[in-house]
Structure 1
Amino acid sequence: MNLDDFSTLRTGLRDGVLTVVLDNPPVNVLGATMMRELRDLLNGIANDPAVKVVVFESANPEYFLAHVDMHILDQRELLEELAASTPDGVNVFQATGELLRHQPQVSIVKLAGKARGGGAEFVAAADLVFAAEETAGLGQVEALMGITPGGGATQYLLDRVGRHRALELVLAGELVDARTAAAYGWINRAVPAAELDQHVDRVARTIAGLADGVVAAAKRALPPADLGAGLAVENDAWASLVALPAAQRLMSAALAAGAQTVEGERDLEQLVLRVR
């Protein structure tokens, strides 16, 4: 595949490490185009022996992935294309995380900024996550907008942090700093921001340099949990809420108040609370 054929992803391959830079200004929302390109990229490299590790980072140091694009339903034709290629048992949003969770290569997220909603779900789907202590933040903001997560968060958080903390993260909707996320088990480790690049580079290159077969054997011995039943329940819960007038009103009000702008996304939780 041609790694230059993307509009929202920038890639570079060196010594077995594929770096993928997420680049969808102004705040890196997870739109239908990026979802399609992530699908094509991950499928395209799945059997590529030259790629051992995939590192995801952001072109915007303030925002890794803001959340799913609130205008995504306007891209109906592209969503229908995504739905046609989505495996049975998951919706188009869950499919992105499930593809990442089952990727043969080791996936690493370098989290320097904020990731909320679908962006936080993408982070939780990765194999390894390292975040900047001073600047990174994670949040499942969906409940504040009248819905529940629909892209895997309920199941990924249940698997990573346990039921009690998962309920807190899903229902309180607060932005969680890197140290708290690490203490909860949402991410692997919080790292000083000045050391994040070096730390991720060292881990990625160590893994990429392992003897042939080691990564595959480790992934076979430590498979991702089977979340199929839970994902179906999550989709039903999300679908029962997303079309209701309350959710539509909250999302429209959030957009009018500045959601998906650089300034508005800095404290999205308070912005949403003000328009409720």
Structure 2
Amino acid sequence: MDGKQKETPPGGQRFVVHYGTEPKLKRRKRNVTSDTEDCQSNQELLARSAGGTKRKNQAKQKKGPAKKQRCLLDWDEDKNSPEELKRIYLSSNMLEQWCHRPFFANTVTGCFVRVAIQECSRNPLYCIAEIMSVMETEQVYQLGSTRTNLGMELRHAGIKQIVTLLSASNQEFLVSEFQQWKLAMMNAGMQFPTPETISKKEQAIKEATNHTFTDKEIDFIVERKNRFRMTPLNYARKKIELLDQLHRAKACGDVFRVTATQEELEKLAMGRPFR
């Protein structure tokens, strides 16, 4: 998938984000040998402090306000709204439904998901993250009604991490989670997806949802699902058996049996379980 080497996701159940954990600077201790040296040191510190304050004020006057204003202008409240981002949001159900399709990686890359950042039974915490890439991992796991080994590299502002598809939530993100993501993006100096990018990804999602599969694509999907089955299915043998049953049902005029066999053939094509 995407030609990347297999990687093992760390944990895969939650996205690690730490808020309010800025490192504290330690003060260096100096040995003062005399009152004269102490006085001289204090004078030097005052001079440095004055010089530093002057430079900071100059920097604020020249660059600070303009840079801050430009950042705020880039984040337009109307264009950069939660509703806009939800246009390219993917739920866990969508990931489960598409994970074996040949166009999965290209479709989901650049979209956004809601992932847990703190495991808690009552009040779990979530954040918004962008899917940067999709890759195969060494871990095969159950994803709803199917099995897969896919992982995805997520980015929350400047933080990146590889997780499994299980990490994605099936619920849309909250406004408070959007505001937190927006603040993290601004602090990291990153921009909201452009309208062109959102429109392009939204169109890709629609095409994936309404895609009509070719025989070659169906064979690819069946092969992928069969690869991770606990008990692999002999696709060719099962298809021959069902086609034979369909032929005999048509010859006998058994409409009910014809319909049932056609449904079984459709399930086989999509890799769904049989009754």
Larger radius of gyration: 2
TM-score (norm 2): 0.24
TM-score by structure 1 length?
0.24
Task: State the structure with bigger RCO (CA 8 A, min sep 6), 1 or 2.
Answer: 2
